[in-house]
Amino acid sequence: MGELSVDSYAPLRANVNLLGQILGETMSNDLGAGFLEKVEQIRVLAKDSRSGDETARSKMLTILAELPDEELVPFVKAFNQFLNLANIAEQFHTISHDCDEKVCAPQPIDDLFERLKSQPNAEEKVLNCLNETSIDIVLTAHPTEISRRTLIKKYNSIIHCLSVLDSERIDYDERQKYSQRLRELVSQIWHTNEIRQQRPTPVDEATWGLSTLEVSLWQAVPDFMRQLEGQFQKHFNRQLPKTVMPLKFSSWMGGDRDGNPFVTAEVTQEVLYRNRQRAALLYLEDIDELVSELSMDDASDRMIEAVGADRTPYRVLLRQLRKRLKRTIKALDLKLEDEEAELPVKKLIWHTRDLTAPLTMMYDSLVEKGMTLIANGKLLDTLRRLSCFGVHLLKLDIRQDSGRHAEVFQELLAYLELGDYNSWSETQKQTFLLLELQNKRPLIPQHWKPSANVQEVLDTTRVVAQQSQQALGSYVISMAREPSDVLAVILLLQEAGCQWTMPVVPLFETLDDLNHASDSINQLLTVDWYREHIKGSQEVMIGYSDSSKDAGVIAASWAQYEAQEQLVEVCKQWDIKLTLFHGRGGTIGRGGGPAHQAILSQPPGSVDGRIRVTEQGEMIRFKFGLPKMACKSLALYASAVMEASILPPPEPKPEWRKVMHLMSETSLHAYRNVVRHDPQFVEYFRYATPEVELGKLPLGSRPAKRRKDGGIESLRAIPWSFAWSQNRLNLPAWLGAGDAIKEAVKQGYIDTLRIMVKEWPYFSSRMSMLEMVYAKSETNIAKYYERCLVPKQLHGFGHRLSDKLHSGKATLLNLIESEVLMASTPWSRESINLRNPYLDPLHALQVELLARTRKTSEMDKELELALMLTIAGVAAGMRNTG
């Protein structure tokens, strides 16, 4: 799609101006007209400096540098809230107006069905695909998502007000009412401390995830299913079976213990109870509505037999369910207060079938008696919620590092005097584990007293063993390398008494691990016992974050692509259904970007109707925080998975592979020469970004590093990417990419590269993401951080990075034959431009705060708050951070 007319953005700009004006009035009322004048002066100067006015830029920086400590928090807060309100206006614009199809794709499923209709047996293909499709969106906690839940609810209320005010049919009184409400909400936000005072616990993070589900996804899922059904009926002239449910939601919040000592077995158990409790509360609301609505007296013989002769048989059954739900909520309340409290499971709503069976009987009864329209109302919505969420709301994944499992066997075998597990070869480990898996006697002695670390792993497996299969998702093994890593977890679960088969999922993260992933899975599948155990299904997780941190985006991306291709081939040889779990983050450097484009760029055969994808922190809020936005996001996911399954992308041509191998190798050397081999890199990184400060601030439950004494290699991928986004250099998302393209051009592949952009979704997506990264990167801002925070002897290193960035931009523009970045996605470009006048002062304030706080050993509370606000503000402005 080409340029949109300027008028396309008029409604967006109008709402940004409206919200900015209301915020200005609020600030003026609170802190006086002089404060607002100064804020407005800074904003105008920032805008002028963006137009190339160096005098304006210098004046802005001088004013900000001279702010007294007591004015820092209000000024930072002002620009932070301008950005949050701009985000709200953009979210509203996205769900209420047609924008760039590459971002919004207004009717992706409708468009797909239209294209598929001409195919032979199209209806059968689509229906089979929908019946088989499993899209599991896994919500994960995020150390950079620092917006409080109370503010997120107010942001959602603002969008509701904008929606009402946007209506042409609103009368004067209604307009006044909602205009006043808008002012109230902005005022409430301004007078609310938007930053957490304490580091959130894992239970806090899990509660945040449930909140997103409750305020948005609970409504969005049935809404989306109605849209899907309507589009299916429109194109194929038949109703979608009520059993179709392509969506699932899982969570890592309260289950991801990799490097997080605060996620314990007790925390996991508490989160599982809270998930059940919230589900019961939500279903209770549904049942209350159904009691009110289903007042009919005509029922099937089966219904009458179940409830007896009554004038309102549906209400009789619903009231019974309501009583059990209330009992369930009360029992879980007691259990959360007192671990020793009994759970009378038989009297509670404990399994999904406890609700599904009676509600399905009611549905069938209504249909049988000619009341299909009523059956397909709220009752069908509830049945679809049960199909998607069950009575556990979110399936909880467990994640742990492979080394922690090896530690269990190292200690245990030493205690049993059976050997030194860690010194054994892979063959010895596999032989031992397989023998024990088939041995009927227990391996772990009842009275053994292991170390605290080992006990925690054993306690976790016992919590897993006590759950129903529907409560839990997969057991993910970080840093998995060998088949023994998987067999070890299966044995631990067996020893804990787990009666059902939990998917044990190796996560291949580093470049070497990705390169050897298919060999590892092939070795596993050669084991007869293991193939029998998994019953024809294997899940594998592909790590985007750590592989990109290890090798740079181009080399990591190509390794991820090839690993998927090889895994598909291996599983096909063994007749095993493969599900790929994509560990994508928000940033481009961690696999982020539009989900629709990302799914369609996967290797052919790698989706095949099944996919799991992580969504993190602020990206959950941006994609799923509002019902209408969530509907759009779910439609993008569903259409991409169906298209990738029915119309898979082309196989890469041999010449394309040759070019990618060249680019991957060039990119890897260029990336590692800077990150691993340049002696100035680590020092520059720690001066030029707020990486050290990020570790000290209460942003998330998980420590920033896997080891307290570790260096860059132990730094987690989220703070690694996040730190570089704060100074706008965005280094992890582009370093090495420009060198790779330049080398391919130098070797005469420019025409091939241009064909790859046009014909290969994988390469097109990669270049599109690179284009966005370059557009968001600002060397002028990065140089300001450098000038104020970095010792002069390191400035030459910073200049080399800036030169690499500029050179990479020029190389990419030449490849895509464009004079400006993002020419084909004007909506995204406009989105960035809207924020810059508010972002620039925040960057300057952050630099000032870093300079002040680094002069003292202990951070002043007000300066710490101001610094956190700048971090939150830049995160809000950049949108795909972390």
The catalytic site residues sit at 142, 549
Q: How many residues comprise the chain?
A: 882
Nearest residue to 41 via CA among 19, 25, 12, 61: 61
What is the full DSSP assignment across 743-784? Answer: HHHHTT-HHHHHHHHHH-HHHHHHHHHHHHHHHH--HHHHHH
**Residue 542, beta-bridge partner list:** 508, 582
Residue 511 · residue 551 · CB < 8 Å: yes
Helix-helix angle 483-495:517-525, to 10 degrees:
50
Dihedral sign for Cα atoms in the order 495, 496, 500, 501: negative
Query: Is residue 854 a contact partner of residue 31, using CB atoms and an 8 Å limit?
Result: no
User: Which residue(s) pair with 256 in the sheet?
Assistant: 399
Based on the number of CB atoms within 10 Å of its own CB, is 445 exposed (0-12), middle (13-18) or buried (19 or more)?
exposed
Chain CA centroid to CA 536, Å: 28
Say if CB 698 and CB 858 are below 8 A apart. Answer: no
CA–CA gap between residue 812 and residue 792 (Å, rounded): 31
8 A C-beta contact, residue 861 and residue 67: no
User: Which pair of structure tokens corresponds to residue 675?
Assistant: 């990150």
Asked if residues 480 and 508 have their Cβ atoms less than 8 Å apart, the reply is yes
Q: Are 109 and 586 in contact (CB under 8 A)?
A: no
Dist. CA 863–CA 73, nearest whole Å: 8
Tell whether the torsion through CA atoms of 788, 790, 794 and 797 is positive or negative.
Answer: negative
Q: Read off the tokens for 406.
A: 């090896």
Please state, in angstroms and rounded to a whole number, the distance separating the CA atoms of residues 657 and 304. 66
Q: Where are the beta strands (DSSP E) in 338-491?
A: 395-401, 472-478
Strand partners, 472: 396
